[in-house]
Amino acid sequence: MNERKSAMEKTKVGVIFGGKSAEHEVSLQSAKNIIDALDRTKFTPVLIGIDKEGNWHEYEEGNYLLNEDDPKRIALNKAKRGILLHLGKLEDEENVLTQLDVLFPINHGTLGEDGTLQGMLEMLNLPYVGPNVLSSAVCMDKDIAKKLLQLAGIRVAKGVTLTKGMQGEVVYEELVEELGEVLFIKPANQGSSVGVSKVTSKEEFLAGVEDAFLYDHKLVVEESVVGREIEVSVLGNEHPRASVPGEILPQTEFYSYESKYIDEKGAKLEMPAKVSEELEDRLKKEAIKAFEALQCEGLARVDFFVTEDESIYVNELNTLPGFTKISMYPKLWELSGLAYTDLITELLQLAMDRYDRNQKLKSSAFE
């Protein structure tokens, strides 16, 4: 990595987007917004797109996307230059990655926010935005994350974990007796409601399980928590802070992938959420508690259910939340007084601060 820039030089920011995830198209939307919002007086963007086959390419800013204004048809353009990587080693010293000062990975879903990409960047000794390997992996796995949240005294929905090996042993009637008649089936390691089903019958349950197993080898089956869907954005390293809360008002059966990223009428966003000062304070404190319990740094969006009696349930933490035009994370910070461009700047600075902090750690007992 380059030595830290002088005051007159701009910081080179590698924005990584796309990837083999089911959320490939969402990543492209997020990347476009981040690149457009980057403070060009301080930063120079370097565009790194990963296609659906997993190939890395460097793009020019003017022509990296096709159908950029259509969430359903948005796609990576063809690139002239590939970026070759070998297990923890760059192909050559002139590789574009060696010229970067910090990276902003915005690859949603598997192979992006699950710790795999973060691990590669750690091996390459590059600073990057967002939680580290462990936190990214834990937050991506709904089963493990909820177990750790419970250990920290944080309330989550009751659920049962299923693996493919258990598929023939599951008794639907027993699940209903334990969790209730309305069930949610979720792939353990997917985001953006990909592969999620809400079911109320045995036939729907079996179909939902079959669909979810297309996306993961492990599922969680959860009770339905009837309540308001409220989200809080968290930002920071050692001293995180929370934004004002926002509320999702789904206009469909539940807040699906289409509702989140494609259908602008799929949900209404109440920002800020209409909550009392007391409840807002509790939500902020619980968001930071969850953020710290799962050892997040940089950023995360904490998603809650709030019941009629104002009991708070943590649904999940998203460590690389959407940055699309309708995404909650940046909008909530704007309402909290932090403009979009300033948010991007702070995230990049947090990444570089953490890198500098980690470089001071001893790597050997004999140093």
* Tens-digit pLDDT profile for residues 136-169: 999 999 999 999 999 999 999 999 999 988 877 8
How do residues 161-207 score in pLDDT, each as one tens digit? 999 888 778 899 999 999 999 999 999 987 657 789 999 999 999 99
Across 105-133, average pLDDT:
94
Tokens (6 digits) for 16: 């990584």
Which one is the CATH code of 139-155+226-351: 3.10.450.50, 2.60.40.10, 3.30.470.20, 3.40.30.10? Answer: 3.30.470.20
Residue 174 CB coordination number (10 Å):
10
Work out the angle at residue 284's Cα, subtended by the Cα atoms of residues 283 and 290, and round it to the nearest 5 degrees: 85
> In this predicted model, which residue has the larger pLDDT, 21 or 15?
15
Per-residue pLDDT, 190: 76
Tokens 């304070």 belong to residue: 281
**Percent with pLDDT over 90 in the chain:** 73
Per-residue pLDDT, 193: 74
Give dist(CA 71, CA 256) in Å, integer: 15
Across 304-330, average pLDDT:
95
Per-residue pLDDT, 65: 95
Reply yes or no: is the peptide bond before residue 127 cis, omega within 30 of 0.
no
Q: Class of the 11-129 domain?
A: alpha beta
122 Cβ partners below 8 Å, 6+ apart? 132, 133
Tokens (6 digits) for 42: 């301080």
Whether the predicted pLDDT of 358 surpasses 80: yes
Whether the predicted pLDDT of 14 surpasses 80: yes
Per-residue pLDDT, 364: 66
Per-residue pLDDT, 88: 43
Across 85-111, average pLDDT:
74
Fold of 159-223: Dna Ligase; domain 1 (3.30.1490)
Whether the predicted pLDDT of 21 surpasses 90: no
Whether the predicted pLDDT of 34 surpasses 60: yes
Per-residue pLDDT, 86: 46
End-to-end C-alpha distance for the chain, whole angstroms: 23
Per-residue pLDDT, 5: 60
Per-residue pLDDT, 280: 98
Task: Provide DSSP, 130-147.
Answer: S--HHHHHHHH-HHHHHH
3-state class (DSSP) for residue 304: strand
Work out the angle at residue 211's Cα, subtended by the Cα atoms of residues 208 and 213, and round it to the nearest 5 degrees: 110
Q: Quote the distance between the C-alpha of residue 79 and its chain's center.
A: 26
Q: Where in the chain is the domain with CATH 3.30.1490.20?
A: 159-223
Whether the predicted pLDDT of 340 surpasses 70: yes
Per-residue pLDDT, 18: 95
Q: Do 332 and 232 touch, CB atoms closer than 8 A?
A: yes
Round the average pLDDT of the chain to a whole number and report it.
Answer: 89
Q: What are phi and psi of 362, to 5 degrees?
A: -75, 140
Per-residue pLDDT, 236: 98
User: Closest Cα to residue 119, out of 142, 140, 143?
Assistant: 140
**Percent with pLDDT over 70 in the chain:** 89
Give dist(CA 250, CA 181) in Å, integer: 21
Q: What are phi and psi of 252, to 5 degrees?
A: -120, -175
Give dist(CA 109, CA 283) in Å, integer: 25
Strand 65-66 to 75-76 pairing = antiparallel
Per-residue pLDDT, 355: 97
Per-residue pLDDT, 87: 42
User: Closest Cα to residue 183, out of 163, 164, 202, 166?
Assistant: 202
Measured CA to CA in angstroms, residue 205 lies from 96, 167, 176, 221, 257 at distances of 48, 12, 10, 10, 19
Give dist(CA 108, CA 111) in Å, integer: 8
How do residues 249-296 score in pLDDT, each as one tens digit? 987 665 555 555 455 566 789 999 999 999 999 999 999 999 999 999
Across 104-130, average pLDDT:
93
Q: Where in the chain is the domain with CATH 3.30.470.20?
A: 139-155+226-351
User: Closest Cα to residue 327, out of 51, 57, 31?
Assistant: 31
Per-residue pLDDT, 22: 82
- Phi-psi domain of 111 (left: phi exceeds 0; alpha: psi -120 through 50; beta: other): left
Per-residue pLDDT, 352: 97
Tokens 């989140």 belong to residue: 260
> In this predicted model, which residue has the larger pLDDT, 87 or 145?
145
Sequence length of the chain is: 367
